[in-house]
Amino acid sequence: MPEPVVRAERLARTFRDFWGRPRVRAVRDVSFQAEPGAILGLLGPNGSGKTTTLKMLVSLIAPTSGAVRVFGRAPSDLAVKARLGYLPEETRLYPYLTPDEIIAFYGRLFDLSGRERRRRTDQLLDMVGLAHARRRPVGEFSKGMARRIGLAQALVNDPDLLVLDEPTSGLDPVGCSQVKALIRSLAQRGKTIIISSHLLADLENLCDRLLILCNGAAIEQGGVRDLLEDRRTVRLTFPGLDPDRVAPMLDALGREFNLAPEIDHPMRSLETFFLESVDRARRSQPEPSGVAAAAGVAPFLAGKGGAREDVLSKLVASPSQPAASPPPDAPTSETGAEKDAEARRAANEALRRLVK
Ligand SMILES: Nc1ncnc2c1ncn2[C@@H]1O[C@H](COP(=O)(O)OP(=O)(O)OP(=O)(O)O)[C@@H](O)[C@H]1O
Ligand SMILES: [Mg+2]
């Protein structure tokens, strides 16, 4: 088992008033860890302690009690900071600087050479879709455009640990989807990512593990699949199959298990529909006034870890091609009883495979 990148043990933070009296117990005895290459999501209602927890991880505030280790060291250690990228909750950029100047400024803080700064600035601005606006002062930027610059800034040192506090806040659905895709590719390159959000859709199909906070306490944590899977319901998917052909099999299944299976057509998500529509529109309007279609991950973010299995693709993958669906050219001359028996055998076989 690799050493976790982040290990927090009974982490707590109480904010005190002017007289030193405890005012808010923002985080209470929260323990968790993040493994290399994993995406950990902190989910919780407003004021539940997500930002306070993240700030303790990046040593912006100290815990009142408990301990946090990052790469096996105290988070205040400079060697840790060199390997850390942080996107704060609020994007605060110098309004008169251009994206070029801002990324170069953060590159300087990490002591990058002029040539390397220019290389990374070019790649990062392409990646976040703002290369065309690189000479405009960021004070003019929309909220989502500024957020993208914040994200580019967090990546300038090619960090091994990325701490993102509500990275999709202010982004349109296309931006959210791009940021999620970017986070997935970074994790596949071995980077560890801790991300907070109060938007369920942001984290549901992104994270490997979830930590749910409420009033400063961890109320749930675990693998996304373990937390979300409904083990009482089994779903069979028959892509492209006429419902009439599935009906006899469902009848057989219903009789076998004394249940009433449901049949319908799955709906595309609004996100998929929206992304496809915008993509079509953008192809016919090549001149962007806001954000352009973003390029892929900046090549310099090469990652040091090996590629890991994409847990997400496993989560969203449809069940293995069901053996229950009859081949399209199956003979149609069977009697009703034979067909029924055949369908029942196939359905049972498929079910056995599914529940194995
Ligand atoms: N510097 C501070 N001084 C006093 N109280 C604070 C401070 N920072 C945070 N708090 C309090 O700690 C609690 C947790 O705040 P935190 O910002 O961590 O929540 P959050 O989960 O990030 O919420 P949101 O979803 O709104 O961003 C809140 O009650 C907040 O008022
Ligand atoms: Mg917050």
Q: How far is the CA of 321 from the centre of ligand 2 (A)?
A: 42
Q: What is the pLDDT of residues 10-28, one digit of tens each?
A: 999 999 888 877 788 999 9
Q: How far is the CA of 24 from the centre of ligand 1 (A)?
A: 9
pLDDT surpasses 70 at 291: no
What is the structure's pLDDT at 290? 62
What is the structure's pLDDT at 355? 45
351 lines ligand 1 (CB under 6 A): no
Whole-number Å distance between alpha carbons of 51 and 163: 10
51 lines ligand 1 (CB under 6 A): yes
What is the structure's pLDDT at 116? 94
- In this structure, which ligand is nearest to the CA of 165? 2
59 lines ligand 1 (CB under 6 A): no
Tokens of 343: 């369908």
What is the structure's pLDDT at 333? 44
Q: Mean pLDDT of all residues in the chain?
A: 81
Sign of CA dihedral 197, 202, 207, 213: positive
Whole-number Å distance between alpha carbons of 12 and 67: 9
Per domain, the residue ranges of the chain are: 6-228
SS (H, E, C) 210-255: EEEEECCEEEEEEEHHHHHCCCCCCCCCCCCCCHHHHHHHHHHHHH
Averaged pLDDT, 246-268: 80
Q: What is the pLDDT of residues 89-116, one digit of tens each?
A: 988 889 999 999 999 999 999 999 999 9
Element holding 10 (H helix, E strand): strand 6-16
- In this structure, which ligand is nearest to the CA of 28? 1
Q: How far is the CA of 89 from the centre of ligand 2 (A)?
A: 6
Lowest mean pLDDT among 143-157, 215-229, 272-286: 272-286
26 lines ligand 1 (CB under 6 A): yes
Residue 216 Cα: closest atom of ligand 1: 14
Contact 83, 161 (CB under 8 A): yes
Lowest mean pLDDT among 159-163, 247-251, 275-279: 275-279
To the nearest 10°, report the CA torsion of 168, 172, 173, 176: -20
pTM for the complete prediction?
A: 0.77
Which amino acid is present at 87?
A: L
Lowest mean pLDDT among 91-100, 126-135, 323-332: 323-332
Lowest mean pLDDT among 134-148, 183-197, 276-290, 329-343: 329-343
**CATH entry, 6-228, from 2.60.120.430, 1.10.8.350, 3.40.50.300, 3.30.10.20:** 3.40.50.300
Residue 198 Cα: closest atom of ligand 1: 25
Tokens of 95: 């309004």
